[in-house]
Amino acid sequence: MDDKKRLRDILSRLRKEHPEAKIALHFRTPFELLAATVLSAQTTDVQVNKVTEPLFRKYRSIAAYAEADLDALKKDVSSVNFYNNKAKNIQGSARMIIERFGGKVPGTMEELLMLPGVARKTANIILSGAFGVNEGIAVDTHVNRLANRLGLTRHDDPVKIEKDLMEMTPRAEWGNLSHLLIFHGRKICQARKPKHPDCVLYDICPSRDI
């Protein structure tokens, strides 16, 4: 079975196994998704959602983040890792969006990558989650791990992994693939001890003996 057929089989099985798979971060607007995704680096989505619930009630607009007292904003997000830089990046993005993009979160990869703290993974999440645009595949630690275990890539670099996955996955499925691999990674194919007896991919997984 070639890589594209294997990937289609993987997608089909994971869709049936995880029909609820979707972005785990809570948000109402594109900027809230941007802020939540920035906060999620090296922090669990569960913890980010705890932080953003009061954060999003306090700051109701992009202008509110741009005009916020930075020390207060840092305190508001202080329970996530690297909160100082994340608060600076969120405020910096808010100011750039107002100054350069007319107060609206830009909807292209090129423009999103101009924003402080936004790399390809964050941009892909924003484009897919907020705008329904599949520009690439968000590669986090779960996607990295599963793509390697499933033999879909031999790389550790997220950009190279993304390229490999994009070449074998239909564009319409790029966003879904990321969500499905993340869900499966959290629930079944865990880093330390994969739950092989519960895995719907066990029979086609080249790493099933780990």
Q: Where are the domains of the chain?
A: 3-21+136-204, 30-131
8 A C-beta contact, residue 160 and residue 153:
yes
* DSSP assignment string, the chain: --HHHHHHHHHHHHHHH-TT-S--S--SSHHHHHHHHHHTTTS-HHHHHHHHHHHHHH--SHHHHHHS-HHHHHHHTTTSTTHHHHHHHHHHHHHHHHHHSTTS---SHHHHTTSTT--HHHHHHHHHHHH---SS----HHHHHHHHHTTS----SHHHHHHHHHHHS-GGGHHHHHHHHHHHHHHTS-SSS--GGG-TTGGG-TTTT-
pLDDT at residue number 190: 95
Active site residue 121: yes
Q: What is the mean pLDDT of residues 31-58?
A: 97
Rounded mean pLDDT of 88-116? 98
pLDDT tens digits for 107-119? 999 999 999 999 9
**pLDDT category of residue 33 using cuts at 50, 70 and 90:** very high
Neighbours of 53 (CB within 10 A): 10
The confidence band for 179, taking pLDDT boundaries of 50, 70 and 90, is very high
In which band, very low, low, confident or very high, does the pLDDT at 105 lie, cut at 50, 70 and 90?
Answer: very high
User: Is 156 labeled as catalytic in the residue annotation?
Assistant: no
Is 3-21+136-204 in CATH node 1.10.1670.10?
Answer: yes
Contact (Cβ atoms closer than 8 angstroms) between residue 11 and residue 176 = yes
Is-contact 70 145, C-beta < 8 A? no
Cβ contact 26:36 at 8 Å: yes
Q: What is the tens place of the pLDDT at every residue in 129-171? A: 999 999 999 999 999 999 999 999 999 999 999 999 999 999 9
Q: Which listed residue (50, 140, 163, 187) is catalytic? A: 140
Q: 120 by DSSP, 3-state: which?
A: helix
Q: Which helix (H) or strand (E) holds 70?
A: helix 70-76
pLDDT of 209 higher than 80 = no
Question: What's the pLDDT score for residue 1?
Answer: 61
**CATH number of the domain at 30-131, please?**
1.10.340.30
Other CB atoms within a 10 A radius of the CB of residue 210 amount to 9
Q: What is the mean pLDDT of residues 85-107?
A: 98
CA atoms of 84 and 73, how far apart (whole Å): 9
**What letter represents residue 21's amino acid?**
A
Q: Lowest mean pLDDT: which of 2-6, 67-71, 127-131, 161-165?
A: 2-6
Rounded Cα distance, 90 and 10, in Å: 36
What six digits make up the tokens of 89?
A: 């990046």
Provide the mean pLDDT of the chain: 95
pLDDT at 208 over 90: no
C-alpha–C-alpha distance, residues 148 and 154, integer Å: 6
Segment 99-103 shows an average pLDDT of 97
Q: Indicate the pLDDT class of residue 3, thresholds 50, 70 and 90.
A: confident
Catalytic residue among 121, 156, 163, 195: 121
